[in-house]
Every structure is written in structure tokens, then in C-alpha cells.
Structure 1
Amino acid sequence: MDEQLTNIFKALGHPIRRQILDFLKDGPRTTGELNNCFQDVTRFAVMKHLNLLEEASLILIRREGRTRLNFINVVPLQQMYDRWVSKYQASDVASILKLKQVAERRNEQMEQALKHDTFQIEQEVMIEADRQTVFTSLTKDINQWWAYRLFGQESILTLDPKVGGSFLEDAGNGEGAIWGTVTYVKAYEEIRLNGLLGMRGAVNSAYSFKLEEKGNSTLLKLSHTAAGLLDPNWKDMHSHGWEELLGSFLKEYVETGKLPEERQS
């Protein structure tokens, strides 16, 4: 963990690398597009900056043919925030700030009409446990760490890890919601789902989890794509949501057994 933090601070220590992350906040860019953003910097220098960011896990690389796409990975930044900032915040101040953010977000949503658009979110998180343990926690134990609910904290979440299985929230009395439907599963390696995850209307949304063994740890890779009539805020909302769910709640549940409601204690 300390080595990872050292790499993160090193990566953030140069203004060009911080600018690259600023550019990637708006969406993935090819290496050529990033190079064009810096008139006085050689392509070789830009590649060196990208390599340092990749070593710090601050960007993820996806190749499409001969094209290299660079995605921002905000999970390490969320983990830094959790370590040094969130635990020292007074709960009442945090609640006020969250209320303010919700109010501002709703105002923005009212002002901005839905439009035909797409988004893609790529994130990675390293979890100190074997792949089978992470897969079981991700699926069978999802009610323990998935903190978001549509019907309040008393509802029950289940995820049946088989093709056609449902990621279901059961509120009792016949009420509930389907968060997703499993379209592909390979035990302990990958699971894919289709589901709106809080979005509404004419939207096609799919998300997948891939698990790779890294020694005694597991690298969990999230990919989430959506297309259709989208609210301009949905990408940021889901990106931050995934950061918290996977980079904080799931990781802590697997590694320490801590539940989301115990984080403030």
C-alpha cells in the first residue's frame, strides 16, 4: 500500500500529468489526442508521463486495434481521500455537504434536458484476497457491502450468479427492483449484467466485472457502458458510485469484514 501511495504522489507531482488527468475527466482519449493537447511537449515525453500514471494505476489502458485509449482511474484517489480526509470529517458537516450536492444536482438536472449520448466507465481496484473469495463477496454477499438502496436500508439485495439470474432488491410486500440481469458468467473470473442502475427511460446499460489473479491478491476490473437518452450528470454520478462501492465498501468488506455502516465508527 505504501509503495502504491508513493507512486501516486510521484505521478501527481508534475503539472503535465495533472493536466492529463484533467483532460481524461471528460472521457477517454487516444495517446495521439493527448499529445496534441501539448504543443511544446514531444510525443516521447507524453508517453513517459502516461507510463508513470499507469504505474500509479491512475490511468487504465484499453487497446482497440492499433489505437490506445487512455481512461482515468479514480479509485486510488478515492482511497487516498478515505484514508486522510473522510475519517476526520464530522458527520454533520458531511451530511450538510451531501444535502447541498443533492440539491444542486437536482437543480442542474431540471435545467438540462436528456440527450442522446453514450458513456463508458473503466475502473480497477486491487483487493488483498484470492479470486474465489472476491467473486463470492461480489455476488453471494452483495447485500453486506452494496450500500445503495431504492427502497431503504431494510430491503434485501441478492445476485444470482448464473445466466438469466437477477440482481434483485426485495423490499417485501411485493415491492422491489431489478438492478441487473446476468448475461454471461465464468465462475471466479467474470460476470456481465444488463441493468439501468438508477437510470430511467430509453437507456441501454451494461456492466461487467473481471477478476485477475495477482499473486495472493485479485485485480477487479469494472467496465460500465450506457447509451440512449442520458442525463448529463449520470456519468459522474455512476463513476463516483462505483469508486465508493468497489474501491471502499467491497474492498474493506473482503479485507477486513467491515460493513459500510461501520466506516464512521
Structure 2
Amino acid sequence: MSLADNLFINMCKDILENGVSTEGEKVRPHWEDGTAAYTIKKFGVVNRYDLSKEFPAITLRRTALKSCIDEILWIWQKKSNNINDLNSHIWDSWADETGSIGKAYGYQLGIKHKYKEGEMDQVDRVLYDLKHNPYSRRIMTNIYNHEDLHEMNLYPCAYSMTFNVTKDKESDQLVLNAILNQRSQDILAANNWNVCQYAVLVHMFAQVSGMKVGELVHVIADAHIYDRHIPIIKELIERPTYDAPTFWINPDVKDFYEFTVDDFKLENYVTGEQIKNIPIAI
């Protein structure tokens, strides 16, 4: 069993056994038929993934690496808020007639701010600090901008990254660690998708900064399983598991803005059957 499978199974069991139901409460999400989408939820779930040991793609079912990387590049590299720059349809429900999702996600990362070193956006600030001041305790991003929330078609779910550099005691090489803060997460639809995305992001920042990867810590304030997902989750976590896949990142890419989806691969990725047509609450 991979470490990611073990974490996922234990997290799902904990939510199902010890979580709190929102049934009967006033909730915002709903299903396509207009029915309220209730959940079983746990507050403050924290999962730690040691990226130096394995890539955290679960094997219970396949996580579509190319698609989740395409989305992370759309947000962090293209800094886009328009679905026409994206190669999937996962954001279609939140886009307007022009394809815009409002002043959300990539839009926020692309805003330039004034620093004593000059003007730069949040992504370039991370790249600058990792190069010039790696031991800073201020290397972070935040896209939950209250001033612009009214112009976002969906409030950010994964909203903050904090990067922290340590040193490998044996090799003396710098090690990049990160914390992903998420206010809310649909465990079935999005958990491993987000974990894989931000694991790739840490690999990208580490490589272009000449560092090794360390830990990705995922903090979820509201970790929930939707009512219509409960039987799917129960079946999923009883499936056989396999060894973790091997992650490949193109070693020749040294510029963060030159990565493409073809610069990443999962080798020997053996998984259970894919789950199709998962109902998504909106």
C-alpha cells in the first residue's frame, strides 16, 4: 500500500465514523436537480506527505495527472482566470459567457505588488525569495483577497501556500517544504487531485531553485463527503491498493515558466478502476 492510499483510507474512515452531518441545515451547495447537497464533515484535517519518499497519487483509482497539472499551470504559471486557457471542463459551471471566473485564482496570483526589491506578483515573489533568501519565514501566497470576493464566481478553496526551506543533514542540500491551506474540500472529487497538483508544484519550485523536495502538509478546515458520495467512498476504500508510482519531472527545465504538461509523468502507475460520472455539487 502506498503512503497516500493509507492516508486517504484512514481520513475517509475518520470522516464517516466521527464526522458531523449537515443534513437539515441551511447549506449553499446543491445538486443539479436543485436538491440541497448535505455532507458529513470533519474540522481541521491535516495530512503530511513526504515527497522525498513517494509521489502521493492514490492507487485506489486513477488520478488524471495531466489534467490536474494543466489546471495548476493555468493558475500558477499562466495566472489565468479564463477557462479558454484551460484544456478541461472542470470550471465550466463557474464561468460566464466570456469564459471568465471573475477575479479568482490565477487572477490573484498575477496581481503585482510593491516590495522593497521592486514590483512583482506572488509567484515571482516566491521564486525570488527561494533564490535570494531561502531561509525566510515569509515565503507564502494567499489568493483569498476579501476586496475582490464579490467579483469571484467561486471563492478560493485552496487559498494559501507557505514555503519553508530546511537542509538535508547528509548532503547539505536545501530542501523545500510547503503547507497547503484549504478552507473546504470535497474529498471524493478533489482530495487526491489537489494533493497531486500541489505535490507537482513543490517539485517545480524545488527544481528551478536547485533544491530537493521535502514535505507537503495539507491542512483542510472543512473536509467533507457529500451525501451522494458516501456509497462510492465506502466501496472505494475497500478496494485493493498497489505500490506508489514513480514520478518523473523533466530535469532539463530550469525556468518555472517553461514547464508544460509533457514535462511530467507517472511511471508504473497501477490503479483500480476509474469511477465515472461522479455527481458534483455546485
TM-score range, shorter chain: 0.3 to 0.5
Q: Which of structures 1 and 2 has the larger relative contact order (alpha carbons within 8 angstroms, sep 6+)?
A: 2
Q: Which has the higher strand share?
A: 1
Q: Which has the higher helix share?
A: 1
